[in-house]
Each structure stands twice: as structure tokens, then as C-alpha cells.
Amino acid sequence: MKLGDRPLANPDVVLREEYDDWAVLFDPETANAVGINPVGVFIWRLLDGRNSVEQIAARVADGFDEVPGSAPEEVRAFVERLAAGGFVGFAATGATP
Amino acid sequence: MSDQPASPVPSAPQPVMSTPRRLDIEITARCNLRCRYCYFFDNPAVPYRDLDTATWLRFFDELGACQVMDVCISGGEPFLRPDLPELLAGIVRNRMRFNLVSNGALIDDAKAAAVAATRRCNYVQISVDGSCADTHDVCRGPGSFAGALRGIRTLQRHGIPVAARVTIHRHNVRDLPAVARLLLDELEVPAFSTNAASELGSFARHADQIAMTVADRELAMRSLVELKERYGGRITANAGPLADAEYWARMETARRQGAPAFSDGGRLSACGCVFEKIAVRADGAIVPCSMLAHLELGRIGRDRLAEVWRSAPELVRLRARQAIPLQRFAGCRDCAYAPYCTGNCPGLAYSLTGEIDRPSPDACLRLFLEAGGAIDGRAARISPGAEVAE
């Protein structure tokens, strides 16, 4: 079994929506917290182990106006930052989500 | 009217979160001590009774649904509750972290191990008011100093972060350097916070024995400023002599320089708590904070927390307090410090004047100076954002 490309939100992490559509991801295990904007919230909700990063980027392109061409790279970088902070893992290839 | 800079008027109300980020929870109304300045006891508006385990656990489930991040568990003395491990498990299950406020005396290895096992404890705060039993026990009772130190050492053995709180009063104001040595050098506590015994709860019954004189307050401010210079960020304060020394030094610097009004000055803007946290009494009453324990906003198990948070009229009014100009109050109208003053704690304002929507006389620089007090320019050097007064 190897790690795949389908990011999966850490189930312990709390998505706390604040005002003006901004939000905080809070990991009670580590006390780490990160602020995310509305696009980040949109992405977070797609981190279910079923969607690949490319599929998530495509959903972002469909869901928002004036999405730049660099969006796929930016989505990947965002997911990788979350993974480095322990907020996200990657579903194992072949595993049933 | 004095010739003073105009105070800014807030252009928009401060936004309010959809649910509180933090809660202060008084988990029990029982305590093994009866400290002479306890803010919690001797409040005629508070019925001192406890809720059962199941009620708290259901409430913690509600907090989880509200995405609350942190709870501060105090009392009374939280380690008196035999179901504390079960309650902490409810906090963990709902993806929150916690800290505990304790006098330390009841913390044994089993209790410390239970706290450590949660892996969600930010810290346990232990009250230490003196460097020795003489100064600590005078207000907290015989044996309480030994209990506090025993509690700190037990927590440290279990790898639990420890914070200390020093409450300053007439009997320990000369002991502060020794307190700092004990906590920071000998016990190696990372940091301690300070406040002052204030006009709340049991204090009124003993004010003549424990209230600080103006000279005591000056000494406390001078001593804490010197200690903060020596120990850096390891000594903190949100209220009391150190906070007063730092903020008053900024105000005095600004006044001397004729500086523009502070962005939050000239209004009753001091309290930001009501924008991010709320409190629950041991009997289940939801209140704005422990210092406004008479102000019932709702009751857990009966009212939905999110609804209370958004709509309780008293809470909405407390948030609007920020816009009340100091010019409304006779003592502030001609005060040269008003453009830099935020009116201080609404809880103390209520306790001292019977009104919430007033500035608190307790931390009024003008009153302090009129009473013969003096402030020390050195505080400005350690106060962020301040220039040194010449």
C-alpha cells in the first residue's frame, strides 16, 4: 500500500468559520491553527480522500470567478502546506475511502 | 474642556464571531480554601451549587458542535470534582483543548496522570502569592503554600505545562522579587502572570486588611517593572500593577508629546472579551464573564449557546459599550488622559460603581495621581509601542 494523491482531512481538525467567510483550521492534538480564506474553506470541504488535487483544482475553477491559470499549482501548494502542518493526510492508493 | 486631541470614533462595530472561540467554565462551586480576596465567593447574586456530570457532558457536546477551541476550567477548585477525568474526556471527545485553574493543593500523581493522558492540556495555572508560607498563607490559609508548591512539582513530574498567577495585595507587595526568584529560577516555571486583589467577591469583607495603599501600588508597579526588565517576557499582566504601569506610561508619554488619541482611546473600549469568549457559572448560568457573574444571559441545557452568544440583549449591549465616549462622564471630560484611556474593566466598574457602562475607577490614572501616586517612565521601555517619556 502506498500513499496516493487523494488528500484526506485529518478528522480531529476543527473547521471553525469566523466572520466574513474566513475560517480557522484548529488541530486540538497539537494546538496548531491556521487561518484560511473562502477558497481555502471550499478546498477543505473537498478533502475527503475521493478527490485528487487536480479534481479539486478543477472544482475551484468551476466554483469561483476569475481563477488564474496558476490555480492548480496554488491548490497543490495549499494542500501540501496543510499536509506539512498535520491538517491533511493522503488516502492510501487502493484504499476504500 | 481641556485642549486635548479628539478621540477617534469607531467607523464600524467590531465583528462578532458566529460562536465563541473560548469559554471560561466554573466547573464547581466548592473549594478547599477560602482566600480572603477570592473573586468567586461571597457574590450575593450567585447560587453556589454544582451540576452533575451528565449535564456538563451534554454541554461539552454542544460546544463541540459550536466549534469552540479552548475551555478554561476553574471553580472553586476543579480538582475537587471526582469526575474530573470523565469531564476532561468529554472535552477531548469534542475536539477542544483546555487549561485548568487551581490552588494546587489537591493535585496528586493520579490526578496529574489523568490530565497528562488527555494530551490536550495547554497548562495548569497555580496560584502562588508569596515566596514563603508567611506571605502566601496570610490570605489563603495555613498549609496552602506547601500545597501549591507540591502541586507545581507534581505537574512538572508528569510533563504538564505549569503557569503561575501571583495576586498582589498589601501583605506580599514587598515579597515580589523573592516570588520571581522562587517561580522562575528555583521552580523553573516558564512564566507567571500578575494581577491585584480587586473589589470583587470576598475582598469587600477584608478590604481593610488586604487592600493596597497608593504607596503599595507604586511599590508594586516599580518592583514588577524592574523584574520584567530582568526576566523579560516571563512576567505578564492583563490587569493589576504591572498592566497599569505599562499602560499608564504609554498614556503619560502620549500626553506629554501631545500625541493623537489612541485608536481605541476616549471610549469604553477596554474589554474585548465579549467578542470572543463567554463564561458559565457552576450552577449552569451563562454569563459574560466571571467578573460579571450576576448578569445571567441564559442557562445551559435550556438555552442554545449560539443563540445566547448572538442575541442575548445584555451581551449585545456589552459589545456596544465600546462606542460609549468617555466625554459622557464628568470625571473624564476635562481629563488630559481621556484620549488615551479605554475605561478599563467593566466587571470592576460594576463592582465599584454599580454600573457597567462607566469607566472603572480602579485603573484610573487621574485618580491615582490625585491620590498622590506617581508613575515611573521606565515602564514605557517595556511597553510595546511606547516611546520613552523624558
Residue A29 within any structural domain of the chain: yes
User: Across the interface, do B18 and A20 touch by the CB < 8 Å criterion?
Assistant: no
A–B interface: beta-carbon pairs under 8 A: 33
Residue A74 within any structural domain of the chain: yes
- For residue A69, the distance in angstroms to the closest alpha carbon of chain B comes to 34
Q: Would you say the pTM of this structure is higher than 0.80?
A: yes
Measured CA angle at B189 (ends B224, B170), to 5 deg: 35
Closest CA in chain B for residue A33: B69
Residue A28: which of B18, B21, B97 has the nearest Cβ? B97
Residue A93 within any structural domain of the chain: no
Residue A60 within any structural domain of the chain: yes
For residue B250, give the C-alpha cell: 504609554
Chain B segment 56-85 residues within 8 A of A by beta carbon are 67, 69
User: Across the interface, do B95 and A28 touch by the CB < 8 Å criterion?
Assistant: yes
DSSP conformational letter for A22: -
User: Across the interface, do A16 and B69 touch by the CB < 8 Å criterion?
Assistant: yes
Ranges A10-14, A90-94, B274-278, B296-300: which has the least confidence: A90-94
Cis peptide before A94 (omega within 30 of 0): no
- Helix (H, G, I), strand (E, B), or coil: what is residue A9? strand
Residue A90 within any structural domain of the chain: no
**% of chain A surpassing 70 pLDDT:** 90
User: Across the interface, do B21 and A15 touch by the CB < 8 Å criterion?
Assistant: no
Res. A2: pLDDT tops 50 = no
Residue A29 with chain B: CB contacts under 8 Å: 119-120
Task: Give the CATH number for residue A62.
Answer: 3.90.930.60
Q: What is the dihedral of CA B145, B148, B153, B155, to 10 degrees?
A: 180
CB B351 within 8 A of CB B323: no
**pLDDT band with cut points at 50, 70 and 90 for residue A5:** confident
Q: Using CA atoms, how far apart are residues B74 and B352, in angstroms rounded to an integer?
A: 24
Q: What is the pLDDT of residues B225-269, one digit of tens each?
A: 999 999 988 999 999 999 999 999 999 999 999 999 999 999 999
Res. B170: pLDDT tops 80 = yes
User: Across the interface, do A17 and B21 touch by the CB < 8 Å criterion?
Assistant: no
Domain that holds residue A59: 7-85
**% of chain A surpassing 90 pLDDT:** 74
Q: Using CA atoms, how far apart are residues B72 and B101, in angstroms rounded to an integer?
A: 7
- Please report which helix (H) or strand (E) contains residue A82, including its range: helix A71-84
Q: What is the pLDDT of residues A66-75, one digit of tens each?
A: 889 899 999 9
Q: What is the pLDDT of residues A46-90, one digit of tens each?
A: 999 999 999 999 999 999 988 898 999 999 999 999 999 999 998
Res. B381: pLDDT tops 60 = no
**pLDDT band with cut points at 50, 70 and 90 for residue B389:** very low
Q: What is the pLDDT of residues B99-118, one digit of tens each?
A: 999 999 999 999 999 999 99
Half-sphere exposure of B17 (CA within 13 A, CB side): 22
Residue A41 within any structural domain of the chain: yes
Q: What average pLDDT is seen over chain A?
A: 89
DSSP H helical ranges for chain B: 53-65, 84-93, 109-118, 133-140, 144-157, 176-180, 203-210, 214-231, 241-257, 305-311, 313-320, 330-333, 346-353, 365-370, 378-381
Res. B390: pLDDT tops 60 = no
User: Across the interface, do B120 and A16 touch by the CB < 8 Å criterion?
Assistant: no
Residue A16: which of B15, B16, B67 has the nearest Cβ? B67
- For residue B273, the distance in angstroms to the closest alpha carbon of chain A comes to 16
Q: Using CA atoms, how far apart are residues B176 and B196, in angstroms rounded to an integer?
A: 12
Quote the pLDDT of residue B8: 62
Quote the pLDDT of residue B334: 94
Count up the domains in chain A and report the number. 1
Strand pairing partners for B100?
Answer: B73, B124
**% of chain B surpassing 70 pLDDT:** 93
Residue A14: which of B17, B67, B120 has the nearest Cβ? B67
Residue A12 with chain B: CB contacts under 8 Å: 95
Residue A96 within any structural domain of the chain: no
Higher-pLDDT residue of B271, B82: B82
Does any CB of chain B come closer than 8 Å to the CB of residue A90? no
Top residue of A13, A14, A36 to mutate, by most chain B CBs within 10 Å, is A14
For residue A12, give the C-alpha cell: 480531529
Residue A75 within any structural domain of the chain: yes
